Structure 1
């Protein structure tokens, strides 16, 4: 009785089609090219159909081979992931974990999850890169990213942490000593605002919402910055009204250096998320970091 091709043969076929080379596929599988060639001839004989076109210089799938591999690839990935998950039970987190983050999120992590993680998993090197632009974490070699929920790509697995946050309008008492306090977002047009430049070069529009009414304003202002902590410092210096995360303004407000305005127009938003590609196996180091992130809140 013929039981059909096995997992090893089908994996080898998929590797050959992927590399378009017996030699490269053999290197990937840890086999000799001659062994791989004999394996494919046996597979074609058992299935009764030619799967590969061979020449002395190249190899390419036949139509039958192309269709077979296209159906096999998601199944082989699932099987490989299932086997790797079992293998993870005996693998301790180790190596380097690379995370791309906004600077605000990185500051939060350094106060909460990072110290716990480094104490608990000293065999993991944590590499956190902060930048304003939203990058392709897969294409640029990161294991995970951290951004506000609205910036997380839809095809990613996202894990919320850190609670809700708000973007609020703030200015110093000295600034308001000679100016009226805005009551509605439209009043900002009569003020000097500290504008924020996005990594794309475009100015950020200030967004407000109250009772379902949403307003986005291109605010006026003589000063534009690309760093929110600098915006907070500029606001403390009386240079205008800034629209920034409440995580940055809390200490300034508590000591009276800044005053928040338009509070009823600044509702909370979901906040920060760690995200990673769902089609990849979660590395032990990343799984461990996620667990610490959930634990530390």
Structure 2
């Protein structure tokens, strides 16, 4: 690892790790967001594509997606719940999918404020906020910055909190070299990186006896390539180095944590188990053979677990 890359990575880590304390909640900015067709436009002019399925008077569930995907990655859960009377809303994170690709602001504070912009612009209340992987960090930071006035319940699915990277006070985290490797691979050939992730650890297709599903691999790749290069590169620091422990301490709504026991991307012991321990009253469900991409590989079980939690 050369000195320049290491220095840059360390700078990203410092910025992301302290972002929880960098600014007060931007409630006013979220309230100034506007709806224009299938887009919510934030106060700073970022256009966020969103889907709004199901009956408009149904109980509301929002979905925040993972890296480098978009809201399409939630379609199995959204269709399932919409058919059962729920209003399901999901947006493409800034820099991903069909949303704007701003040069700056590819960090968890902005991700959380964008989620707030969608919720406020659509005037959603009593929302169950669901986040997968990076989206779980987005949900945690949303509650940390905007509290739970509009939130009824929370669900973290294969989520990155409390903090992924190894630090002095997080010795069980993943070494920085893991994330430096992602950055390096992204710069060299991000198309190949996405194919390698999808055909390997994301869905567990690298496990002995596993049968890769070409459709899932292609869908992951297509969503990744639709995202902005700079945005997905910056997002690596956002999901790996942001410290969500302070955000989790602010959770005061029923919370469900779901994770795969065989997750090779976000290890269950340092993420889900740790998060469940930090959120008062949180319930943890582990799918023993589940990889990271359980929204697809275990969609029937996940759909039912979500429905059961919503009905409680």
TM-score, with length taken from structure 2? 0.29
Structure of higher CA gyration radius: 1
